[in-house]
Chain A
Amino acid sequence: MTQPLDIMVETPSQTAGPYVHIGCIPTFAGVEGVYPEDLGLSPIEDDAQGEVITIVGSIYDGTGWAMRDAMFESWQADAAGVYPGQDGADPKVTGFCRFAADKDTGEFTLRTIKPGSVKGRNGQVFAPHISIWIVARGINIGLNTRIYFDDEDNSADPLLARIEQRPRVDTLIAKKTGDGTYRFDIRLQGEGETVFLDL
């Protein structure tokens, strides 16, 4: 026998189901009047510092179908690479956004500012990125991934460096489609499967 570890166990996840929008973005779901507005409508306020960008994409299931019912959350640093809540953070950046796939087309849109690179432990520096969390019916535990940008230098990013199969790095990199616009598609399964994270 030994001493007990006294560590508790995380509550198991369950799928967010098809009606996650009722709980998280009720006005979007047609449940109006309970809250003044949905949480996380925008990760920035007017006058946030940095380049305003728009990221558009779809999320595809294993058959290649663009899912209509997924919900996303994003979390990011400000233009200087400082997270909201940290000293010196841009007060106009909340950093958090909730958005959903369009119910007719499956396309999602995230309008934000491009974050700066972020300092980690031991001198690590992460290239500009936005953290994404995905829930939907059929997803039993929320999926984490990141959006990097193809017009940034991602060559020294410690997370991307850990991806052994180098072509898969591309799945985390948004492609510039115009002035301040990017495309980022997510594939849950099969060819071009997005790298999902456990960290």
Chain B
Amino acid sequence: MTDTAALMPRRREVHPDPYYTDYKTSITRSPSLPLLSMESTPSEETGPRFGHNMLGALDNNLISNYSQGKALAVGERIRVHGRVLDELGRPVPHTLVEIWQANAGGRYRHIKDTYFAPLDPNFGGCGRTITDENGHYEFMTIRPGAYPWPNRANDWRPMHIHFSIFGHAFGQRLISQMYFQGDPLIDLCPIAATVRDRSQLDRLVAPLDMQNSRGMDYLAYKFDIVLRGRRQTMFENKPEGM
């Protein structure tokens, strides 16, 4: 078993439907023809690596990284933490995790976001970290607000944090979203509903984690992420059929 072994095929049935009519933009942005499937090749089995030395001290603290420590963002202080694992349950160490989110009022710092909730002068909305040797990561941030968005006449996004994860192979690349336990808007959201299997959607809902919270400071939410694994076999490098 090496870092060059083939990737396990992606289980497309646990992922969202690419074409989902209640999420209108997906209608014209989903391929209509089948994907071309084959065993992974070196192009998917290798991938970019990023070193801890690229990180700034505040990169994983969205409460203070936009002001570079001069002032704090408004909102409910939370710690989001978890592990990055592969399908074999092994930790994925030293991999880049990036997040982005709306501010406490549900507004993104983006020219295209015209919602009238105000910008927070001390909140940028992005953060990044690299997992430790056990695959752990953590962020300090504020709980993002829910917000309305133009889809059907009255659609609202549940509170969520976007996650981007690399793994060690380009074929493991994944972007997803973390939702919050108990948010009633999850059940009404057409983007959440693109994941048809409710038990799979539940895996995107982070539980409140009081044991990892800190009194008079922050609440914690736990969010583990599973990336594609690699085939484990001793037969990998032998000629076909041997």
Contact = CB atoms under 8 A, between A and B. Distances in A.
B194 interface: yes
Contacts of A1: none
Contacts of A95: 48
Contacts of B50: 39
Q: Which one of B48, B68, B127 has the greatest number of beta carbons of chain A within 10 Å?
A: B48
A31 interface: yes
A109 B105 CA distance: 35
Contacts of B65: 34
A102 interface: no
Interface in A118-144: 118-122, 124, 126, 129, 131, 133, 135-144
Name B's interface SS.
Answer: loop
A179 interface: no
B57 interface: no
B31 A193 contact: yes
A122 B87 CA distance: 25
A120 to B, nearest CB: 5
Interface residues of B, number: 89
Contact of B174 (A11, A15, A33): A11
A198 B12 contact: yes
B204 A8 contact: no
A176 to B, nearest CB: 22
Interface string B102-135: 0000001111110000000000111110000000
Interface string B192-208: 10110000110110000
B88 A7 contact: yes
A71 to B, nearest CB: 10
A14 B175 contact: yes
A139 B18 contact: yes
B148 interface: no
21 contacts: A6-B89, A7-B88, A8-B85, A8-B226, A12-B176, A16-B164, A17-B162, A17-B177, A19-B113, A20-B100, A26-B124, A31-B125, A34-B127, A36-B56, A63-B28, A118-B42, A120-B42, A126-B42, A194-B31, A197-B38, A198-B10
Interface of B: 6-7, 9-12, 14-18, 20, 23, 25-33, 35-44, 46-50, 54, 56, 59, 65-66, 68, 85-89, 96, 98-100, 108-113, 124-128, 162, 164, 170-171, 173-177, 191-192, 194-195, 200-201, 203-204, 225-229, 236-237, 239-240
Given A141-B16, A158-B41, A188-B28, 9 more contacts: A6-B89, A10-B10, A23-B126, A62-B29, A75-B46, A122-B240, A126-B41, A196-B31, A199-B36
